[in-house]
Amino acid sequence: MTAGAGRSTRDAVAPWLGAALFTVFAVVYAFTSGAFVHWLDSGELSLAGATLGIPHPPGHPGYVMLSHAAALLPIGTVAFRTALLSGLLAAGSVALVYRLGATLAAVARGRDTPTAGDVATAATMAVVFGISSALWLNAVRAEVYTLQLFCALLTLLWAVRWSLDPADHTALRWAALAAGFGLTNHHYLMVLLGPALLVTALGRRDHRAVFRTQIGWVLGLGALPLLTYGLLPIRASADALLNFGDPSSAERFWAVLTAQQFQGSVSAVNVSVMSNLGVALEMIIRSVGMPVIALALLGLAGLGTRRRHLAVVMTVAIAGNLASKVVMDLDPQNPDADGYLLLSFGLFAAMAAAGAGGIYAWVKAPGGRVASAVAVATAICVAVASLAPTARRSDLDGTHATAALDSVTTGRMSPGALALTSFYTLHFNRQWYAAVEGYRSDVEALQVGLDRGVDGGRSLDRWASRHAPGARSLTRAHVATGRWPQAETLQLANIRPVYIEPTFSGPIPPHRTEYASLYMRVRRAGARRSSGLREQAVDAERLEVLTRGELRRLLEPRKMLLLVLLQVAVVRLKQLEPAGAKMALDMVDVISPRNPYSRRLVPLVRSMMDAVDSRDITALRRVAGEVASTDFANLVFGRRSD
């Protein structure tokens, strides 16, 4: 290829087709986004965007600033606007996969410019990627992964252009700027792309010579976006509503930047890298299909024949991206796992375009044309076959499960209540509906963890002084003693309504609580406890309607609700209310028939019900003692966890 191959290849890629792909997928993702916040981290990230807050480490300032701008758009609900940002970035990523695929196809065939067939094949593979389950579900919910994908693909595209034409200094500078912005969003994933970028810059002698002359520009432009990290201490000092980690001091800023809160939990997980690699491969097959993988491997071989340097770059980029997740717990059903690996999926699609072009070049015509067409048609058929289930799972238009569940849990809470939350999803969704939607804004939410790992709880105490003054007695007591303020909670319940989310080993004695809409209300001293069975039956009916409706196709809320109900069942057993425990387990069976976790609790429930029905006090005491001594987290999940 000539020295100007990079520039001529770029110009030959039809820009209108990239614009068309962006437009079509932006519309598809917009129409399948929902009007309410979604599950997992979506509520937290939407809240961060809407209020210019600080989400979980590393704070994602690049995403927060873009999300805040999106939240100001005069279209739809605020939750829709923050989800729309993900969709626009995902649509842009589809267009980038097309551009990269067409460029790689030309390189694999040893041409300066892509042919019309290369362009068409690249567009087809981009469509396959665009309708994949991995990208689609991350495109319709507020998340950081499509922004990271867009930055990584843009960085690689500019790096490839510079690799093909080292005299194109502008391409190198744009690559540095895109990489720098990626570092402001999810620096872990961008750092793991670093080895591939180093291979691009230093892998060839002519590249090294040019790179040395541009090192100042590269470092300067790469560092420029990092100034957005200044948002973290600024917003923390301004007492943002969402202030995860409180990066208001140099020590706290470094702790958030390096995600110190999460390092221990990640390092404590025992994983098999080889097993996770197998799971990751299954995820790639599920997302883009085996034909795309086969074509991508052919494309990689073609790149190795024509431009070995680029083949190494693509291989190292995929290896680094896979390494981001295989070294930790990998749940293939969690869309966040797909989010981590989106770059690998996109690069497989781009290289598949090169593979299809290689078939055409390597097999004599007309056989090459036929073989290439058959390969592409097979990839399309596999993608279309999975389109219907992917669309069902990813279409969030009309879903309202988060709002419905928040209504179930807080709708009947007394005015001015304090809700002690446990699950991070429920906590941040509660904050969202109170602060942004204005629903039950009188209900203060405070996590039972009390942020022990952040400045000994002092940061949370400062936050509570402004945002949850009614809970200040609890945070003050926690700072003073370093323990959960059980006595202060019981005292507070005498003067205001206090509700606590059930956990297997909660900080409040079960005999001082009563059922209240999936929460447990902390009773006033001397107050008579209500069985709560009638209220629980009403909640079960509401949840059953929701479960048999939209939750049938949404895995994440089903899993979360399943765990909540299991913990309700355990607390009801500890309250000596076996009918309430059975009701909770019956609801578990509706969500997950023949659930193995539920089965482990059934014998205890039956024993207690028999003792209650027969009025056998001795038997009831025996069962109550067994319940009190049981490690339910270990019984249900085989490990100790709340």
In this predicted model, what pLDDT tens digit does every residue of 445-456 receive, in sequence order? Answer: 998 877 776 777
Give how far Cα 603 sits from Cα of 54, 178, 394, 599, 628, Å: 45, 58, 38, 8, 15
Residue with tokens 């629903």: 439
pLDDT over threshold 70, residue 12? no
How far apart CA 400 and CA 369 sit, in angstroms, is: 49
Greater confidence (128 vs 559) lies with 128
| Rounded Cα–Cα distance for residues 178 and 194 (Å) | 12
Nearest to 347 by CA among 309, 316, 306: 316
How confident is the model at residue 373, as a pLDDT? Answer: 66
Instruction: Answer yes or no: is pLDDT of 411 > 80.
Output: yes
pLDDT tens digits, one per residue of 27-77: 999 999 988 898 889 999 999 999 999 999 999 999 999 999 999 999 999
Amino acid at 527: A
- Torsion sign, CA atoms 49, 52, 55, 59: positive
**60 and 144 Cβ atoms separated by less than 8 Å:** yes
Helix axes 205-223 and 187-202, enclosed angle (nearest 10): 150
**310-354 pLDDT per residue, tens:** 999 999 999 999 998 888 877 777 888 899 999 999 999 999 988
pLDDT, tens digit, for every residue of 175-234? 999 999 999 999 999 999 999 999 999 888 888 888 899 999 999 999 999 999 999 999
pLDDT of residue 3: 41
**Average pLDDT of the residues in 280-285:** 87
Instruction: Say if residue 58 is preceded by a cis peptide, omega within 30 of 0.
Output: yes
Q: Which residues 6+ apart lie within 8 Å of 321 measured at CB?
A: 152, 189, 192, 193, 340, 341, 343, 344, 347
The token duo for 596 is 């193995």
pLDDT of residue 54: 93
Model pLDDT, residue 364? 53
The whole-number pLDDT of residue 266 equals 59
Residue type at 49 in one-letter notation: G
Q: Which residues of 484-515 are buried (b: 16+ CB within 10 A; e: fewer)?
A: bbeebbbebbeebbbbbbbbbebebebebbbb
CA 319 remoteness from chain centre:
21
Pair type for strands 444-447 and 418-421: parallel
Q: In what order do the strands lie in the sheet with 444-447?
A: 444-447, 418-421, 498-500, 519-522, 513-516
Q: What is the pLDDT of residue 641?
A: 39
% residues pLDDT > 90 (the chain):
47
Q: Taken in order 431, 435, 436, 440, is the CA torsion positive or negative?
A: positive
Tokens encoding 306: 């024509």
| pLDDT beyond 60 at 628 | yes
**pLDDT at 375 (0 to 100):** 65
Q: Is the pLDDT of residue 357 over 90?
A: no
Confidence at residue 559, expressed as pLDDT on a 0 to 100 scale: 83
| Joined tokens for residue 106 | 């030309």
Q: Which of 119-133, 253-267, 271-285, 549-563 has the lowest mean pLDDT?
A: 253-267
**What does the pLDDT look like over 76-106, one tens digit per residue?**
999 999 999 999 999 999 999 999 999 998 8
Spatial separation of the C-alpha atoms in residues 108 and 427, rounded to whole Å: 51
Is the model's pLDDT at 502 over the cut of 50?
A: yes
Instruction: Tell me how far apart the alpha carbons of residues 626 and 621 are, in angstroms, rounded to a whole number.
Output: 9
Domain boundaries, the chain: 5-394, 400-530, 549-642
269: pLDDT strictly greater than 70: no
Cα separation, 50 vs 81, whole angstroms = 9
